[in-house]
Structure 1
Amino acid sequence: MTHALELSAVRKEYPPPTAVTALDGIDLVVDAGETVAIVGASGAGKSTLLSILGTLERPTSGSVRIAGTDTSALSDPQLSEVRATRLGFVFQQFFLLEHLTVLDNVATGLLYRGVPGRVRRQRAAEVLCEVGLEGRIRHRAGQLSGGERQRVAIARAIVGRPAVLLADEPTGNLDSATGAGIAELLSSRAGDGTTVVLITHNADVAASMRRQVHLRDGRIVADSRGQHAVAAPSS
């Protein structure tokens, strides 16, 4: 069986002056369509783990496989291709282009796939309907609320129909009600076969995912795989 994501004995060390072991022997398998929350205290290695899952960083040792492909054997241009075609990213800071409309912000998610401009905008409009922003298509990013901006960021991440969606604290800057809506939206992507992995400090958001993986000092200390969803340990 080919897994969506597979990490084996992954270690990540940063050289002096930092001299930190951020990940220390991570073994992790994520199947297609799973929704996974990565939880743990600050400094546990969550962001480093997400960066390595997303091929934004290479591990010091160990292997990272995406859909069965060993990424250590890929060149930087090949990794860029993987990110553009198989992965979607959602960040806490949104990273929207303020001078563009909502429609054009989302269409940029297809910019490096060789999709014609008219088709990019058509697909962007379709995805904005999926996330409930069909009435905001012509607005500029600066005219939106925080929750709306995050929905635009999610739409941009999913417009290319990525196999894996990676989210770094996607509800961190939002109120609890808005954050719950964003978590529900992310979780719903699994119904389309998308694998969702997110970092969160929010126990309610973590519990809304089917699986919770708890990091401490760069190691996995708990994994609810095969169990019913449980609340994440507080940090």
Structure 2
Amino acid sequence: MTAALELRGVAKTYPPPTTVTALSDVDLTVTAGETVAVTGASGAGKSTLLSILGTLERPTAGTVRIAGTDTSTMSDPQLSAVRAWHIGFVFQQFFLLDHLTVLDNVATGLVYRGMPAAARREHATRALERVGLAGRMRHRPAQLSGGERQRVAIARAVAGRPAVLLADEPTGNLDTANGREIVRLLASLGDTTVVLITHNAAVAGAMGRQIRLEDGRIVDDSGGAA
């Protein structure tokens, strides 16, 4: 199987005045198309792991590979390009712009790809159809339910067809029914690799693989060898 994400010997220590070791000697391989839930108590290192997988933070030590490419020597502009073309992000907060329509909220996520406006809107339309919001494109975020707004955020993340989708507590602001729908959607994205953080056992169980962190280390991995 092709590796979508690889960590080897990854550590992350935040410097003084409050020195914190968030990750310690983490080895992890996520293959293309896997759906992975990362669990653990608050402070276990989950958010740091997701940030490093998404190249939002650099590790203190170790190697991060995206689709086989070592990112350790990349410049910040090169890492920005990796994020723009290969990685989509979904967060607990929806981060939608209230003054824009649903369609334009999704289309703005493609600005950094340098696409013409018409192409951005075409990609956004297809993404919204994919998440079941074809009838809501002209609405504004305030006119949507929480579950619909999270669907818009997911559409924005997948509009450019990224190989990897990283989600940080994507159901945290939703009721149980809407949360189930979002999990079902994330688990059905076909060949997109999904890695999500959750405190919810039901959400974790809906993913194909579960990883548990404790004190910055992987202590359990249902997918076998890291």
For the aligned pair, the TM-score class normalised by the smaller chain equals over 0.9
State how far apart, in whole Å, the 2-side matches of 1:160 and 1:125 are: 11
> Which sections of structure 2, spanning at least 5 residues, go unmatched?
none
**Percent of pairs with identical residues:** 74
CA distance in 2, matches of 1:125, 1:144: 17
Structure 1: how far apart are the matches of 2:196 and 2:213?
13
C-alpha separation in 2, matches of 1:9 and 1:218:
12
Query: Match for residue 230 of structure 1?
Result: none
Q: Deviations over 1:3-30 (max 9, x none)?
A: 1000001000001122100001100000
Structure 1 residue aligned with 2:221: 223
- What is the number of residues matched between the two proteins? 225
Q: Following TM superposition, by how much is the alpha carbon of 1:122 offset from its aligned partner in structure 2, in angstroms?
A: 1.5
CA RMSD, 1 decimal: 1.1
Letter in 2 for 1:151: R
Residue matched to 2:38: 38
User: Deviation digits for residues 204-223 of structure 1, max 9, x if unmatched?
Assistant: 00000000000000000000
How far, CA to CA, are the matches of 1:195 and 1:112 in structure 2? 21
Displacement of 1:226: 4.7
Alignment match, 2:158: 158
* 4+ residue runs over 2 A deviation: none
What is the deviation of 1:161? Answer: 0.1
> What secondary structure, in the 3-state scheme, does the structure 2 residue paired with 1:128 have?
helix
Which consecutive unaligned segments of at least 5 residues does structure 1 have? 228-235
Query: Could you say which residue in structure 1 is the equivalent of 2:64?
Result: 64
Distance 1:67 1:2 in 2: 8
Between the aligned partners of 2:18 and 2:94, the Cα distance in structure 1 is 28
Q: Take 1:69 and 1:118, find their aligned partners in 2: how far apart are those partners?
A: 32
Counterpart position of 1:18: 18
* TM-score, length basis structure 1: 0.94
**2:155 aligned counterpart, secondary structure:** helix
Instruction: Name the CA distance, whole Å, in 2 between partners of 1:102 and 1:5.
Output: 31
CA distance in structure 2 between the partners assigned to 1:127 and 1:30 by the alignment: 24
Residue equivalent to 1:99: 99
2-structure distance, mates of 1:202, 1:176: 11
The SS at the match of 2:171 is coil
Partner of residue 188, structure 1: 188
Aligned residue in 2 for 1:233: none
* Match of residue 200 from structure 1: 198
CA distance in 2, matches of 1:219, 1:91: 23
Superposed CA deviations along residues 71-109 of structure 1, whole A, max 9, x for unmatched, are: 101000000000000000000001111100000000012
Deviations 1:40-73 (A, max 9, x none): 0000000000000000000000000001111101
**1:142 match:** 142
Distance in 2 between the 1:114 and 1:66 partners? 22
State the Cα deviation string for residues 142-179 of structure 1 (Å, max 9, x = none). 21111011000000000000000000000001011110
Shift of the alpha carbon at 1:130?
1.0
Does 1:110 pair with 2:110?
A: yes
CA distance in 2, matches of 1:45, 1:31: 21
Q: TM-score, normalised by structure 2?
A: 0.97
